[in-house]
Structure 1
Amino acid sequence: MGPSISLLLQLLLFIPFVHAANATVSVYDDSKKYKYDGCYNETTQVPGSADTRALGGGIDESLPGQMTVPICLAFCGNGNTEYRYAGLEWSRECWCAQTLAGIAEKLDDTACNYPCEGDNTTACGGSLKLTVYRVSLASGLSPPGLLTLVSTGLAMMTML
């Protein structure tokens, strides 16, 4: 492949990200189960993180051209395991986990400015940034940590 064709391909791959980074998007707020928690940095490149993800230890999926916040929230909340956190990154990736890494830093909401590839009006993270949703206590779901402790017999009760 000649240098001009290679350069043209690189430019064509870069254009969608320039457009996405300049888009004006809003936060999705129509879920009864999940509430918006904020924009957080991805932690894989944070020194000392050992490449740990901000939403690691769960499940993920990528839906190029199709991802929306409702699709991600359904993916994280309707399976055998209902994950406490759902996060969207790079306009098309959905990450589900029970915890958000302690080294993940909350950023200004404007840092998560990539539109979802399936809904260009809604925020779906950014470059190494996650639009994060957390299970609402009002949704009626049990906190996963307490349920796990009780089911494994690790919870102790004290009578006063």
Structure 2
Amino acid sequence: ISAAYAAALASRTRPTVLVLPRPGSPKLSGSQVELAAKGGYVIADFPEGLTHRALLVASGQEVGPCIEAQQMLAKDGLAVRVVSLPSWELFEEQPEEYQLSVLGGDPENPKLPQKLPVFFAESAAPLGFERFAGTHLGASGGLADVNGDSLTADAMATRLREALQM
């Protein structure tokens, strides 16, 4: 929220939308206003000692369950990087080297993409995210139709295990 306010105050040429989380949503450790202002950043990197297998991209309140899913998958030996992408428009304005460092550039050489599968968790329409990811983990529709079941940490971990045939 702080990053959206900062972006709104800094820009006189583009609109800013504040999409607020549900009441009682926890504050994420690792979230950074400076990096959110770039449109996207690594909020939880690959766990050490495991082979890098996938990227999990989300925005807003979906980021927390993604981090929980990452921790579950690490216990199974599956390393997933979690990326917070609050504004794909701002992210696309960043230098290519920065984009690669966030969305799968090789840690030794950010200009060499790892070509890992990229999944995104979004409870609303996936518009925009398709530029960065191949698999959508959420669903759109009314609350009675969707009910958030596809975006729990357990559901996301299960979908990633299945997709990666683990």
> TM-score if structure 1 supplies the norm length?
0.25
Higher relative contact order (CA 8 A, sep 6+): 1
Return the structure number with greater helix share.
2
Return the structure number with greater strand share.
1
> TM-score if structure 2 supplies the norm length?
0.25
